[in-house]
Amino acid sequence: MSLPTPITNVVEISVQGSVLETGGTTRNVFNIFHYYQNPNQPSPPSAITVANAFIAGPWAAVLALLSIGYVGVQTVARYLDSANNAYSAGNPPGTGALALPRQPAQQAVVALFRTAIRGKSFRGSKHFGPLATAAVTGDEIAAASVAAWQAAMTGLVANITAGGQTYTPCVVSKTLSQLRVDPTTIIGAAKLTALTNKTIGTMRHRKEKTVR
């Protein structure tokens, strides 16, 4: 399989939150997103400018659907174009909006992202939680919340504007890319669609450790 043309001016945004577990410990809840600057535009703005635009836009729609058990810790971002670029801190990701009680921390809404290129290297997924109990019915997203989740996921495949420039959400293949040393090679593809599972998913590493 021939690889697509490498992409450049790619920002990695790490949205870092936490949830207080019932036993009193804290569990990290991280999500990673990638955006690349559309070609033939002027010099790119800072990674933090892009991250802050993401937090104010697509992320705000997700945050409105999370339990207040989600507490934003920090947002950090960097351009992947050089292995030497360090992460810088942007605006904090905020706190979830929906009242307690919440579902167990490992339960999450799952979104699947698809690009125009076949293969697992060009597909992505995200797990969003913790979820408010009122927003879940049995094993699925409550019917009243489905449309809002679908709209939020659609926002995650839409372009954003940062510093007057247009950035497109993408899937970066960590397998096919070379990001450890310069010169880097970034292989990825633009996200075209987001599929939202109505069935609640799980992330095992977010599960509280056994308490006795």
Instruction: Tell me the two tokens of residue 55.
Output: 């937090």
In the block, residue with structure tokens 């307690």 = 100
User: Are the C-beta atoms of 129 and 206 separated by less than 8 Å?
Assistant: yes
Instruction: Tell me the two tokens of residue 79.
Output: 């351009």
What was the pLDDT predicted at 204?
A: 87
Rounded-to-10 torsion of CA 189, 192, 198, 200: 20
Q: What is the mean pLDDT of each run of 10 residues along the chain (212 residues)?
A: 86 98 94 95 95 98 98 98 97 97 96 95 96 97 97 98 97 96 97 97 89 79
Instruction: Tell me the two tokens of residue 196.
Output: 């939202």
What was the pLDDT predicted at 210?
A: 84
109: DSSP letter: E
The kind and range of the H/E element at 47 are helix 47-56
At residue 59, what are phi and psi to the nearest 5 degrees?
A: -65, -35
Instruction: Tell me the two tokens of residue 71.
Output: 């507490």
The kind and range of the H/E element at 132 are none
Residue type, position 160, single letter = I
User: Are the C-beta atoms of 114 and 195 separated by less than 8 Å?
Assistant: yes
What was the pLDDT predicted at 1?
A: 55
What was the pLDDT predicted at 40?
A: 84
What global pTM score does this model have? Answer: 0.95
Q: Which residues contact 138 (CB under 8 A, 6 or more apart)?
A: none
Pairing type for strands 123-128 and 136-137 reads unpaired
What was the pLDDT predicted at 99?
A: 96
> CA 134 → CA 130, 138, 141, 175, distances in Å?
12, 10, 9, 39
